[in-house]
Amino acid sequence: MAQPRIIIVGAGPAGVRCAETLVAAGLRPTVVDENRRDGGQIYRRQPDNFTRPYAKLYGTEAGRAQSLHESFDALRDQIDYLPETLAWNIFGRRLHVTDQRRSRALPYDALVICSGATDRLMPIKGWQYAGTYSLGASQIALKAQACAIGRKVVFLGTGPLLYLVASQYVKAGANVAAVLDTSPFLRRVAALPKLLARPAALRNGMALVGALKRAGVPVLTGITPVEIKGAADIGVQEVVFQDAAGRTRTLECDAVAMGYHLRPETQLADLARCAFRFDPETRQWLPELGEDGRTSVPGVYLAGDGVRVLGADAAEIGGRLAALAVLQDVGLPVANGELQRLRAEQARMDRFRQGLAQAFPWPAQQAAQLPDDAIVCRCEAITAGELRRVVGDMGAQEANRAKAFSRVGMGRCQGRYCGHAGAEVIAHAAGVPLEQVGRLRGQAPVKPLSIAVREEVE
């Protein structure tokens, strides 16, 4: 009997543990990885000619990063690994991939999507100036290029990643001007009962904040962003914000790293025709998830931050659970005790996720308060005023209709960075609940392809 054709998209924590579990069961999966090497974003490997130690590169996550890398190295001869390969479409039980030289369609019996997450961004007037980066991009610059994004960097947003990347910059010797957090401190106090579901993670977070303060970095909570000042020819110059007491303050800087926690990369799940539902806790649309990563589409599974942002260690659990679901569904034996243990661990992780959503909320009100001349969609230079115009003058109260009238979300990122804030602007202008605005539909290719790519027909 031929082995089932199993494809894993992503070689981060979820993808690696999924592959490891399948290999242990005697299978040989194909692993499609957009990156040059395994590790995903959180455990991104440094270039071969870099020799920075794990402790310096990954901080409190050094042990997990090294364990994941070593596990993958041990798997290399037992999987079909496709690095620097983009999964860009799903159609007819085939995954379309390209290495930017050729494109081909890989048939599958089971597809496990471990696509990870990207930064969730809230626009601010002036964020289009050079020197404004997402937290993820700031982290990539440090890990993969060994450089800071500026000589004097302000970290702006909310969520654990804000403090993690800021502390990594401090450890690397960069000048961090301040950490500006939109979440009030009391929100964290109220979320403590849920955050205590993972006391070690809570301690790590508190340690990061303590290390920043000991390094002399101002850490301000409950702030409201006002504007990033600068010019097209010189880039970022200042950040203007209101502190928790309502006072307007200005910080000089030449770079801003922004991020409001993370959002799952759901485009491939959308192209696979998985069902979605609105999550009122985080104010976003997420794929419906069945037991152990199963979706509404038979043969398609989701794991890791690409379906729910629970963190790297929870993504490892999700990857193992999805692999066990695949094994069950292809008729191979699975140890029930291991399944129950992983499910219990995942439930604990989900309680912690709920605590994070409570402690570091998405600042929806900021979208409603954006001035008309603030750019919402950086790819197409669409302003908040233009979005309000298509709502008021053209009756566009649904995301895709507003997209057709204004071009919001039609650029290179396909709404990854403007979609959530754009929907908030539309909902406020139309006076309708956010879920009524809907979500931008996924389109292939999920990321740009080179015109030099040639189609390979099998």
Q: For the segment 363-388, what is each residue's pLDDT rounded down to a tens digit?
A: 999 999 999 999 999 999 999 999 99
Across 33-39, average pLDDT: 90
Closest CA to 291 of 303, 281, 278: 303
How high is the mean pLDDT of the chain?
93
Read off the pLDDT band of 450 (50, 70, 90): confident
Tell me the pLDDT tens digit for each residue of 204-248: 899 999 999 999 999 999 999 999 999 999 999 999 999 999 999
Between 310 and 318, where is the model more confident? 318
C-alpha to C-alpha distance for 55 and 304, rounded to whole angstroms: 24
- Evaluate if residue 255 carries a pLDDT over 90: yes
Per DSSP, what are the bridge partners of residue 118?
263
Q: Does domain 6-118+263-356 have CATH number 3.50.50.60?
A: yes
Q: What is the pLDDT of residue 449?
A: 86
Tell me the pLDDT tens digit for each residue of 276-286: 999 999 999 99
CATH code 1.10.10.1100 region(s) in the chain: 365-437
Task: Name the pairing type of β-strands 102-107 and 94-98.
Answer: antiparallel
Across 112-137, average pLDDT: 96
In the chain, what is the straight-line distance between the N-terminal and C-terminal CA atoms, in Å?
22
Tell me the pLDDT tens digit for each residue of 62-104: 788 888 999 999 999 999 999 999 999 999 999 999 997 899 9
Across 268-278, average pLDDT: 96
Task: Name the pairing type of β-strands 176-181 and 219-220.
Answer: parallel
Q: What is the pLDDT of residue 332?
A: 94
Q: What is the pLDDT of residue 285?
A: 96
Task: Name the pairing type of β-strands 132-134 and 117-119.
Answer: unpaired
Q: Which amino acid is at 145?
A: Q
- Evaluate if residue 457 carries a pLDDT over 70: no
Across 389-399, average pLDDT: 95
C-alpha to C-alpha distance for 369 and 286, rounded to whole angstroms: 26
Is 104:292 a contact under the CB 8 Å cutoff?
no
CATH code 3.50.50.60 region(s) in the chain: 6-118+263-356, 121-260
Q: Which amino acid is at 389?
A: R
The percent of residues in the chain predicted with pLDDT above 70, rounded, is 99
- Evaluate if residue 47 carries a pLDDT over 90: no
Q: What is the pLDDT of residue 1?
A: 58
SS3 262: strand
pTM (two decimals): 0.92
Label residue 221 left, alpha or beta by phi (over 0 means left) and psi (-120 to 50 means alpha).
beta
C-alpha to C-alpha distance for 77 and 81, rounded to whole angstroms: 9
Q: What is the pLDDT of residue 22?
A: 97
Q: What is the pLDDT of residue 55?
A: 77
Across 321-330, average pLDDT: 97
- For domain 365-437, give the CATH number: 1.10.10.1100
DSSP one-letter string for 149-217: S-SSEEEEEESHHHHHHHHHHHHTT--EEEEEE-S-HHHHHHHHHHHTTSHHHHHHHHHHHHHHHHTT-
**Domain with residues 121-260, CATH architecture:** 3-Layer(bba) Sandwich (3.50)
- Residue at token pair 């799952």: 264
Burial string for 94-115 (b: 16+ CB within 10 Å, else e) reads bbbbbeeeebbbbebebbbbbb
Read off the pLDDT band of 458 (50, 70, 90): low
